[in-house]
Amino acid sequence: MIEALDFDVVVAGMEVSQAAPLPAFIQATPTGLILAKDLTFEEWGAIGSSFGTALQTAAWCIGDWMVYGERKWGKQLVMAGEAFDPKSTRIPSELFDQAITATGLDRQTLSQYASVCRKIPMDERRIHLSFGHHRLLAPLPSPQRLEWMAILDSESKSGLPTVKRLGISIRIAEQQPRIVSDEEITSRGEQAGHDNYVPHLTRLLTVLRKTVPGMNDEQREALREDAEQLLDLLNDL
């Protein structure tokens, strides 16, 4: 039997963002939204803000829910004879299947939610930062992540940088954390479509960190040979 979660304990000490209820003049249905014909621009905008808050909250809640299931029942769900490490980032397929059925979300989205929640404890999460901001900060060591969050806290008074600008800033100013200016981005030749390799590289590094320790000598040698193609490309630049 699955134990009920004590949400007062789970969220103790954390300021939780809650989605505002939808106004009485609109109605949400399983297949769409019924809107009054005479909405003001402000009322229309408030509805969108309510949806945005709900989506941000849902990402955290689903991620924490996934991590809870992974840590509590993972040992029972892994394949017969396979050792289970409660600190592992591997989520058993059976747990994924259950989560996909329950939420309707795809495996990659669920994995991303769980990964961010696993890496960033509740006391480090910021209510004024989007889940996207947290996603970019999640791979960083905690001291470095907190340094970036302090910078974002100060920036929030004048307007938070976009998730994209934060990603560029982390890449450009990793050694001296700061939110880079438009001029600095332009001077380095950074443009909107030029950082698409970042999520792929991050995903590759995540996979390698999990799989390399379990490789035999032959598999590691094959990996070295494959990696030489990347090194050759960079050396030719």
Count of domains forming the chain: 1
Residue 9 falls inside a structural domain: no
Q: Residue 3 pLDDT > 60, yes or no?
A: no
Nearest partner of 65 among 103, 104, 94, judged by Cα: 103
Comparison of pLDDT for 174 and 3, the residue scoring more:
174
C-alpha separations of 204 from 12, 197, 207 in Å: 35, 10, 5
Domain that holds residue 187: 125-195
* 153 part of a folded domain: yes
The Cα-based distances of 34 to 23, 47, 51 in angstroms read 11, 12, 14
Residue 64 — pLDDT band, cuts 50, 70, 90? very high
Q: d(Cα 3, Cα 196) in Å, to the nearest integer?
A: 42
The pLDDT of residue 116: 94
* Its pTM surpasses 0.85: no
Q: Residues with Cβ < 8 Å from 130, sequence gap 6 or more?
A: 56, 163
pLDDT of 136: 93
Residue 146 lies in a domain: yes
Largest pairwise CA distance in the chain: 69
Q: Which of 8-12, 138-142, 184-188 has the lowest mean pLDDT?
A: 8-12
